[in-house]
Each structure stands twice: as C-alpha cells, then as structure tokens.
C-alpha cells in the first residue's frame, strides 16, 4: 500500500472523520473525535490539523483554504482539502440541487441484506479506468474457473475518496459473491458485504459520472433524509457486468442507519 500500518490507520481514521464533519451536521465535533478512536477532542484536533492543515471546527464551518494555502499548493506535499467534500457536483445551484434531490428521491429503494461472502481482486492502480476493467476481466475468468454460480453477483468496493486520498493510495476491489466452501488462492482474497440496511440508487452512464452521483447522494439526498451513512464505503452493485468502454449500468448501495 506504500505506507505503514500505523500511517494507514491514522489516515483512514482522519479521512472518515472529514466525511462525518461534512455529511453529519447533527454529530458534534467531540462525538466525531471519540468515534474516530481519539481519546480527546484536543488530540483529535491536533492530528486533524496536522493531516489537513486546519482545525476540524473550521471544516465544520465550511471555511475556505487556510492562510498559506497558495504557498503549499506549489508543494507536492500540500495537504488534501476536506472542504472540497462540501462542493456539490459542478457547483450546482439551488434549482439544480432540487432537481437532483427529486430524481434521487424517486429512484431510491431500500434493501435489508444478510452478510455475503465475497471473492475479491484488487485493482492494480486504484480507480484508474483501465486498471478496474482489467481487474474485472481477470476476476470473471477466475470465477468461471472456480465454478462460482452464474450469473455472477458482482460488487465493486471503493474505499477512498479522490478528494482526500492520493491516487496511488486509493483502493478498489472487484468482487463476486462466493460460497465459503470454495477455497481462494492469491491474487484472490475473501471479503464480506456487511449485513444491514442499504439505500440503493440506480445509475446508468459514463464511469466518469459516478463520482458526481456519489456527491449528490451525500451532499443533497442524505442531509434531507432521516438517515445518516452507517459506512462511508459506497458499494457498486453491477447488474449487467463491469465497466465496458467507459460505460456502466449499476446500483449504488449506501449502508444507512437512523440519525
């Protein structure tokens, strides 16, 4: 992964905290600090500021870039900007936000699922399109070799936000439902679709438009719902196979719970 276990844990804790600051306005900064594994708000604030260049309270207030950002922008070590999480797709105005909300509200359905065992293959280059397509092609071939029941029940797991995580650290897994009794050998490995309640949104179009749809769900639909994300890892359920020539037909599954 290009980082130590300690670095990975700290980074992913703080990135999840940035999401919660952005998309859970009813959760206090202290609640988010403790929920992120920090013993106090002070320790959390120091770690958050070291990672992102500003205090978590400033992010909650939706402040712009902190002083000195222009100088840091010239450095390859510029901290990621959690404030960008607040940006709506294409800086949508009020009328566009309402249109998107109504579209999502009409299309969403809810699924309560038992845990599912998955056979997975990691993309060799994060979210890069050619790498994800290659991962799916190889996974499908290996699933056929293993005799996994057809048609394949396929899921894509996207663990990191391009807004917060360097591209080389972004993790994407191509996965298919796989009975526990089937033994897996590298490069395949086993993961799990968590049990719980999911908000499910259909999507058909360019792969490049998926991120905008995620942002609309988190920024527009969720704040007006009675729900909050139970997990910030969106799950892509591929109803007609993986991406082909940059196009995809799928469902976006967001694990949710009551506020």
Tell whether 244 and 212 lie within a shared domain.
yes
**Into how many domains does the chain fold?**
2
21: containing domain: 5-86
What is the per-residue pLDDT across 126-145, written as a single tens digit (0 to 9) for each? 989 899 889 999 999 999 99
Other CB atoms within a 10 A radius of the CB of residue 25 amount to 11
Query: 23 lies in a domain?
Result: yes
Do 57 and 149 share a structural domain?
Answer: no
List residues bridging with 254 in a β-sheet.
199
Q: 164-221 pLDDT, tens per residue?
A: 888 889 999 999 999 999 999 999 999 999 999 999 999 999 988 888 899 899 989 9
Q: Smallest Cα–Cα separation from 143: which of 116, 117, 120, 115? A: 120
Q: What is the pLDDT of residue 68?
A: 39
217 touches 104 (CB < 8 A) = yes
CA dist 38 and 42 (Å) reads 9
What six digits make up the tokens of 35? 């929920």
> Residues, the chain, total?
259
C-alpha to C-alpha distance for 69 and 152, rounded to whole angstroms: 47
Cα angle value 3/48/71 (rounded, 5°):
85
Residues 246 and 175 in one domain: yes
145 and 68 inside one domain: no
Q: CB–CB of 169/3 below 8 Å?
A: yes
> pLDDT tens digit string along 49-69?
999 888 998 888 765 434 333
- pLDDT for 76 equals 46
**% of the chain with per-residue pLDDT over 70:** 92
Cis status, amide bond into 187, omega within 30 of 0: yes
- The number of CA neighbours under 13 Å toward the Cβ of 167 is 5
């Amino acid at each position: 992964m290009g980082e130590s276990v300690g670095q990975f844990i700290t980074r992913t804790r703080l990135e999840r905290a940035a999401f919660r600051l952005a998309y859970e306005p009813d959760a206090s900064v202290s609640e988010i600090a403790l929920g992120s594994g920090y013993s106090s708000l002070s320790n959390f604030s120091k770690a958050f500021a070291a990672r992102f260049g500003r205090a978590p309270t400033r992010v909650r207030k939706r402040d712009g870039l902190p002083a000195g950002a222009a100088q840091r922008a010239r450095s390859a070590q510029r901290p990621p900007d959690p404030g960008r999480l607040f940006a709506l797709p294409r800086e949508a105005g009020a009328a566009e936000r309402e249109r998107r909300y109504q579209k999502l509200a009409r299309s969403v359905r809810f699924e309560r699922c038992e845990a599912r065992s998955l056979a997975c293959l990691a993309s060799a280059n994060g979210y890069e399109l050619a790498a994800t397509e290659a991962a799916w092609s190889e996974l499908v071939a290996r699933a056929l070799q293993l005799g996994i029941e057809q048609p394949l029940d396929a899921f894509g797991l996207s663990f990191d936000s391009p807004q917060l995580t360097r591209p080389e650290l972004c993790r994407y897994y191509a996965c298919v439902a796989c009975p526990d009794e089937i033994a897996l050998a590298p490069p395949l490995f086993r993961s799990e679709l968590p049990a719980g309640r999911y908000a499910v949104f259909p999507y058909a179009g360019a792969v490049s438009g998926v991120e905008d749809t995620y942002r609309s769900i988190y920024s527009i639909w969720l704040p007006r719902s009675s729900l909050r994300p139970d997990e910030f890892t969106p799950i892509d359920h591929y109803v007609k196979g993986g991406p082909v020539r940059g196009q995809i037909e799928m469902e976006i599954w967001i694990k949710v719970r009551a506020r």
